[in-house]
C-alpha cells in the first residue's frame, strides 16, 4: 500500500495516538479503546489508522526518531516502508531499532530478527484431527493454506478463520510454539503439570497428543485460568485441575500441589516476549535491557521451584518466547546447577525464515 494512500483527514488522529500512547498497555488494546471513543470512524479508516500506528512502532526509530513529537512526514515514511517492503530508504538504519547491546541466543541473527519487525508474521493454525476436510473448506472459501509440518498450516496474518471453520477443528498457535510442544511425547495415563499455563495452548496440544494424560495447571492470574477452562470446553476436553498460584512463591506452590509428583512439567515462563515482538512492535520501541535481570531471576526461581515436583525419570520442558541469551541459555545453565537436573536438549527455535515467532526450548530430566 503506497504511503500516499493515508488520507489526510486521518493524520490528526494518528498523531494524537502516537503522542499519547506510552506503552503501558498493549497497543492493540489501546487502539480498541480509542476507536470505541471515536465511533465516527468507519472500518476502513480504523484499519488504516491502526496500520499507520503499528508501522510507526515498527520502524520510526530506524529513521533516527527519538523525541515525543511525531511528524506527518515521518509517519508516511514508516507507513511506506512497512506497506511496500524493499530496499531500505535513505536515512533508515535497522540497527537503530534497538540501540542497546543485548546478546541473542545462538542461532538467532540480530539483523534478521530486527528486520522481521518490519512485517506482520503469518497466522498459524494447528488442525485437530483430519486435515483434509479443513483444507478443502479453506480452499473452497478462496484461501490457499500451506502445510508447514505435521498439522500446522499457514494463512495470511489477518485471515478471519472464525468465519471459515468450526471452532473445535483448529487451534490458533504459532508454528514455533507447535514445534516446541511436539517434543512433549507424553505416555498414556501420565501425570503432567503446566505451570504458568497462560491461555492453555500447550496444555491443549498435550491433551491432543495423549487424551489419557492427567493434567494440573497453575497460573497466578484467575482470569487466565478462567479462559483456559473455557477453551477446554470449546474443544470438549475434560477441564484440568487448576490452582491460582504464583509459581515463583515456593511456599504457595507447596500448599497448592502438596506431595504430588509429575511425569512431565511444562515450564513456559514469563519473559520479555522478544521472539513475538513482530506482532507487538511497541514492546521493542519501549524496551529497556534493565528488565532482563528481573526476568532471569523470575524464570530461574519458577523452574527451580517446580522441579521439586518432578518424578525420577521425569522431564521438565523449559520454554520462553524470547530471543535473549539472558532468558534462555543463561537460565538453563543456572537451573541445571541449582537442581542437578540433566539437560538433554537446548535450542533456539528460529521462526524468522517462515515468518513465525521465535522461541527457546530446553528439556531437563531427573
For the chain, which domains are there?
3-97 (no CATH), 123-172 (3.30.70), 176-365 (3.40.50.150)
Instruction: Label residue 51 exposed, middle or buried (CB < 10 Å: 0-12, 13-18, 19+).
Output: middle
Cα dihedral 200, 205, 210, 215, rounded to 10, equals: -20
CA distance 253 to 270: 16
- What is the per-residue pLDDT for 1? 39
- What is the per-residue pLDDT for 160? 94
pLDDT along the chain (366 residues), means of 10: 70 94 96 92 91 95 77 91 84 90 95 95 96 95 94 94 95 97 96 96 96 97 96 95 97 97 98 97 94 97 98 98 98 98 97 97 98
Q: Say how many C-beta atoms besides its own lie within 10 A of residue 19's C-beta.
A: 11
For cell 471515536, name the residue.
38
pTM tops 0.85, yes or no: yes
- What is the per-residue pLDDT for 3? 43
**CB-based burial, 78-105: b 16+ in 10 Å, e otherwise:** bbbbbbeeeeeeeebebebbbeeeeebb
- What is the per-residue pLDDT for 67? 57
Order of strands, edge to edge, in the sheet holding 152-155? 146-149, 152-155, 123-127, 170-172
Amino acid at each position: 500500500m503506497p504511503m500516499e494512500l493515508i488520507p489526510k483527514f486521518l493524520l490528526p488522529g494518528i498523531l494524537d495516538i502516537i503522542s499519547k500512547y506510552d506503552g503501558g498497555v498493549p497497543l492493540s488494546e489501546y487502539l480498541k479503546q480509542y476507536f470505541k471513543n471515536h465511533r465516527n470512524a468507519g472500518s476502513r479508516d480504523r484499519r488504516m489508522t491502526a496500520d499507520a500506528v503499528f508501522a510507526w512502532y515498527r520502524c520510526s526509530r530506524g529513521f533516527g526518531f527519538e523525541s515525543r513529537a511525531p511528524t506527518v512526514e515521518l509517519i508516511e515514511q514508516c507507513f511506506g516502508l512497512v506497506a511496500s517492503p524493499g530496499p531500505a530508504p535513505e536515512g533508515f538504519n535497522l540497527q537503530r531499532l534497538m540501540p542497546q547491546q543485548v546478546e541473542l541466543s545462538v542461532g538467532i541473527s540480530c539483523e534478521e530478527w530486527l528486520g522481521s519487525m518490519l512485517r506482520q508474521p503469518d497466522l498459524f493454525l494447528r488442525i485437530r484431527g483430519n486435515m483434509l476436510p479443513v483444507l478443502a473448506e479453506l480452499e473452497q472459501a478462496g484461501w490457499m493454506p500451506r502445510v508447514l509440518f505435521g498439522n500446522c498450516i499457514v494463512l495470511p496474518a489477518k485471515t478471519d478463520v472464525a468465519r471459515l471453520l468450526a471452532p473445535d477443528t483448529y487451534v490458533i498457535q504459532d508454528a514455533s510454539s507447535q514445534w516446541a510442544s511436539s517434543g512433549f511425547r507424553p505416555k498414556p495415563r501420565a501425570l503432567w503439570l503446566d505451570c504458568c499455563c497462560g491461555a492453555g495452548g500447550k496444555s491443549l496440544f498435550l491433551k491432543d497428543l495423549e487424551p489419557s494424560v492427567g493434567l494440573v495447571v497453575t497460573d497466578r492470574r484467575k482470569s487466565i485460568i478462567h479462559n483456559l477452562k473455557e477453551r477446554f470446553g470449546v474443544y470438549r476436553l475434560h477441564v484440568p485441575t487448576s490452582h491460582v498460584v504464583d509459581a515463583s512463591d515456593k511456599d504457595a506452590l507447596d500448599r497448592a500441589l502438596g506431595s504430588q509428583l509429575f511425569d512431565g512439567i511444562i515450564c513456559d515462563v514469563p519473559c520479555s516476549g522478544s521472539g513475538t515482538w513482530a506482532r507487538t512492535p511497541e514492546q521493542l520501541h519501549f524496551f529497556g535491557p534493565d528488565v532482563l535481570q528481573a526476568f532471569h531471576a523470575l524464570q530461574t526461581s519458577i523452574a527451580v521451584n517446580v522441579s521439586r515436583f518432578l518424578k525420577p525419570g521425569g522431564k521438565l520442558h523449559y520454554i520462553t518466547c524470547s530471543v535473549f541469551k539472558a532468558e534462555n541459555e543463561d537460565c538453563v545453565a543456572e537451573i541445571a546447577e541449582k537442581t542437578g537436573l540433566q539437560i538433554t536438549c537446548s535450542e533456539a527455535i528460529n521462526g524468522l525464515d517462515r515468518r513465525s515467532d521465535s522461541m527457546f526450548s530446553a528439556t531437563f530430566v531427573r
